[in-house]
Amino acid sequence: MPSQMHDPDSATSAAWLHMEEVHRAPEPEVLAPLIERARLGEGERGRIEATALDLLADLREGQRTGWVNQFLQEYRLNSSEGVALLSLAEAFLRVPDPETADMLISDKLGDGDWRSHTGKSHSGLVNSATWGLVIGRALVGDENRANTLRRLISRTGEPFVRQAVGAAMRMMGEIFVMGRTIDEALKRMKKPDQKGFTASFDMLGEAARTFPDADRYFEAYERAIEAVGKARGDGGTQDNHSISVKLSALHPRYEVSQWGRCVPELTERLEALCQVAARADIGLTVDAEESERLEMSLDIIEHVAELPSLKGWNGFGMAIQAYGKRAQRTIGWAEALASRTGRSMPVRLVKGAYWDSEIKHCQEQGLSHYPLFTRKAATDVCYLACAKDMLEAKAIRPAFATHNALTAATIIEWAHDTDSFEFQRLHGMGEGLFERMVREQGYRCRIYAPVGGHRDLLAYLVRRLLENGANSSFVHQLADEHLTDDDLLRDPVDRIVEVGGKRHPSIPLPEDLFMPQRKNSQGLDLEDWRVLKRVTEGIDERADIGPEPEAVTDVAPLLDQAAAAFPHWSALPIEERAACLDRLADIYEERRGELMALAVHEANKTIPDALAEVREAIDFCRYYAAEARDKLVPQELPGPTGEANILRMEGRGVWCCISPWNFPLAIFTGQVAAALVTGNTVIAKPAPQTPRIAAAAVRLAHAAGIPADALILCPGGPETGAALTGDPRVAGVAFTGSTATAKAIARSLLDDENRPIVPLIAETGGVNTMIVDSTALPEQVVADVITSAFGSAGQRCSALRLLLVQEEVAERMIAMLSGAMDGLVVGDPSDPKTDVGPVIDDAAYEKLMGHRAAMEDRWLKTLEVPAEGRFVPPTLIRLDSMDDLNTEWFGPLLHVATWKSGKLEETVSRINAKGFGLTMGLHSRIARASELVEARAHVGNLYVNRSMIGAIVGSQPFGGEGLSGTGPKAGGPHYLPRFCAERVTSIDTTSAGGNATLLSLDDIGG
């Protein structure tokens, strides 16, 4: 936590505290002062427009020459061909085996309408490339034509298409990358087309997943700084090349929850790089990354800036993103830091590169407001307001990174001179914009120049292609024939004032994501250290969770009570029952801290898991309430005239809900809420390990208006469960737990010959598998595997048990996975830095440790864990064959095997043969692979290119088939009807003496 890291009285920290006010404030509020700051005077407006028109002309000229620009214009992101090329570019270069590479090409080129692009571009090269794609499509697409061509090609013995596509992708890479090595990049900067420009070199590779990767990036930065230092010419740092550093490349756990560990370690690493840069007297700028990392980066930057050994070095800089609501305050912070440490600090103002992923992340977290603006013009306004502050600041040396002619023209107007600042642009973008200014008018411009091999290029390349192709992007709009210069140069202040600074209407607030159906559950910003600290303290304060509710030994009186309550409860209008669930959701939200503490202390949930638990319970309540209102109302059905047919959905009687310890609030609440809202009364038996949180849930449900005898808690073990399900008064059972118990319940329901046939909804486990092919991005696979296999200590029914990696990439993938496992923190779940807590009880511990020990000669990796407590070490276990695992091991033990390229279908069949059917994961960039798995896999939930856990109510209804459960899916549209008796009434309306409706028809009709 930051408390040990900085002094709250210092000027910079005070500015830091004010940032909180705007972080998630509504957009109009944040924008109001920025609009005033960015507003142009009348005289200014005319001059800026004139300059901007000149710049536009230069930029257009520059864009006409680059074939890549032409290529990107021809294949826009909103065409299917553009998207196909983007995905091909993203994946192709990392695929080692020809078979998969061919499949990828066929997949991406196969469906595109390449022919419609032929001859359309001004660029001959682009037209040639298009013809290449047309031929490529012929080769991989339509069978008849393809065969002829394929024969031709095979005669030459050349894998022609693969080579051509590979070459094209490499060329594309070279457009955006300055060189594979720093020496190559330095050499390229000497070429005539870069004349007059300086560079800031960036070592490609970001978001290191392992410590060895982070070391590798560190060394690359160090070598680059030395090389740039050697190449240094005369003049100050502003006239020499510099380096840009991404902190995420230097630490695999650069996360707020790991603050205490990663901030000191990153500070040390950055300090070491700065020492080298200061000795060489070159500039070093810290790039800006995702918004949740802002404060950590400031903490690190502050420490390094204050180092006495770096006093007098004016090269230490930072980047600030104008799309963030805290941008202007961050500039104030930087100015205070620079003046306090007696330096002139280069500050690069950017708009920001992670806009789309940040918006999604915030929606997933269910947070109150976005930390970024949702309209492009708002970002522009903020950029200009920040630019003005920077130009007036005393201790900041401004650098304005933009490819936008209007933004650049405004800065030219405001700066008054050419010397007090520099422009910056990305290599491969905005060519033409600054050339004349640099070579004829004395302005400075620095090119952000990525350096690295193809393997590290991809994430960067995709960001650049997206940036070039986005509809809102200035360089993209430039080529849009429908937009006039006036459109392009419209003052962003006017645009924003026109809409009152309001949020973009197509980007709902996270809480409104599911509107108009229901409110989304509120999240907590655990990536804000203040919130995390507060939540952690609240959980610590509630460590005393009191005594366990007593187990019930005689279930008969409870059943009597619930049976007696049924007629009244079931007769209530649906709306009344639904309103109880909505109230319960609100009460859960109010009492979230208490419920989270129970989840942590009673069920060993980590803090993020505890939050997700409470949110899921809330979502279940609101979802089933909405579903009931929508689907349970009586329906009129069609039939012959003179007849009324009505379908009614009604309660069946007393339901017994038996829930597991691994989701002691969410699953408990989900079952109970569904049974209640459909008109049943409920006896709820929680797992014997987690009766307290269930007791709290029932107390709150009663407070929400559910009568005490309509919902009765029945704590106890297996015998209590058996007594309940065996009792003829029970009219339905909802069960989540092991397959063996589900089968035992099913048998018990049939024991008594005189008992009616009773519905059973069973959700059980699975031997869940993830298939990874060679087109998958290893970094993404590793992050998703870690979450899916080791999150919640593997104690989720959806958790990954068997990882199947395509042979050709298995070694690298496993090495990266082992490295990433080293970063996992195993320990006390109430500590915010813990990733993996203990398993639930001694029995689970013994069972898992027994299996682990039996597989010792197959361990690929295991971790050290605390000596005290039921900590099962996260372990990676190699199998010779995927057929060797047929049992669910409910803990952090991950098995790994390989599969052969071309055998995807067979692999899926072998997984199906295990008989389970809960979750499956697939990581592949080949759309046809995902179609194939979707068509063949017998699983309830298939997750493609993401983690396999964390199903969201209403978005990913959850539940399996085969040995994994009966369905219907929890949190899905078919769940409620299973709790109901369906009753139809058919009335002959003519029996009263004639068919009045028919006889009163108007003769003509209409």
**Residues in contact with ligand FAD by the rule CB under 6 A:** 287-288, 319, 321, 323, 348, 350-355, 373-376, 378-379, 401-404, 407, 424-426, 448, 467, 472-474
Q: Tell me the angle at which helices 592-603 and 607-631 cross, rounded to the nearest 10 degrees.
A: 120
DSSP state of 918: S
Query: Least distance (Å) from ligand FAD to the CB of residue 651?
Result: 48
Cβ(689)–Cβ(717) below 8 Å:
no
Of the pair 426, 687, the CB lying nearest ligand FAD is at: 426
Catalytic, out of 431, 797, 808, 888: 797
Query: Least distance (Å) from ligand FAD to the CB of residue 389?
Result: 17
The DSSP code sequence of 532-544 is HHHHHHHHHHT--
Nearest Cα to 414, choosing from 43, 57, 32, 54? 43
Cβ(664)–Cβ(690) below 8 Å:
yes
Query: Least distance (Å) from ligand FAD to the CB of residue 418?
Result: 18
Of the pair 320, 696, the CB lying nearest ligand FAD is at: 320
Query: Least distance (Å) from ligand FAD to the CB of residue 380?
Result: 6
Length of the chain: 1006
Cβ(968)–Cβ(959) below 8 Å:
yes
Dihedral-angle region of residue 983 (phi above 0 means left; psi in -120 to 50 means alpha; beta otherwise):
beta
- Total H helices, total E strands in the chain: 38, 25
Of the pair 328, 769, the CB lying nearest ligand FAD is at: 328
Of the pair 428, 829, the CB lying nearest ligand FAD is at: 428
Torsional sign, CA 656, 658, 663, 667: negative
Torsional sign, CA 143, 148, 151, 154: negative
Query: Least distance (Å) from ligand FAD to the CB of residue 785?
Result: 27
Torsional sign, CA 399, 404, 409, 414: negative
Of the pair 88, 470, the CB lying nearest ligand FAD is at: 470
Catalytic, out of 358, 763, 779, 888: 763
Query: Least distance (Å) from ligand FAD to the CB of residue 736?
Result: 42
Of the pair 179, 971, the CB lying nearest ligand FAD is at: 179
Query: Least distance (Å) from ligand FAD to the CB of residue 316?
Result: 15
How far apart CA 366 and CA 810 sit, in angstroms, is 36
How far apart CA 187 and CA 184 sit, in angstroms, is 5
Cβ(614)–Cβ(588) below 8 Å:
yes
Query: Least distance (Å) from ligand FAD to the CB of residue 968?
Result: 39
Q: Is 445 labeled as catalytic in the residue annotation?
A: no
Q: CB neighbours (10 Å) of residue 554? A: 9
| Structural element, H or E, at residue 635 | strand 635-637
Q: Is 292 labeled as catalytic in the residue annotation?
A: no
Query: Least distance (Å) from ligand FAD to the CB of residue 446?
Result: 7
DSSP state of 884: G
Of the pair 426, 836, the CB lying nearest ligand FAD is at: 426
How far apart CA 403 and CA 427 sit, in angstroms, is 11
Residue with CB nearest ligand FAD? 351
Of the pair 75, 373, the CB lying nearest ligand FAD is at: 373
For the CA atoms of 24, 29, 33, 39, the dihedral, rounded to the nearest 10 degrees, stands at 110
Three-state SS sequence of 683-746: EEECCCCCHHHHHHHHHHHHHCCCCCCCEEECCCCHHHHHHHHCCCCEEEEEEECCHHHHHHHH
Of the pair 429, 786, the CB lying nearest ligand FAD is at: 429
- Sequence-distant (≥ 6) Cβ neighbours of residue 290 within 8 angstroms: 354, 357, 358, 361
Give the residue numbers marked as catalytic: 763, 797
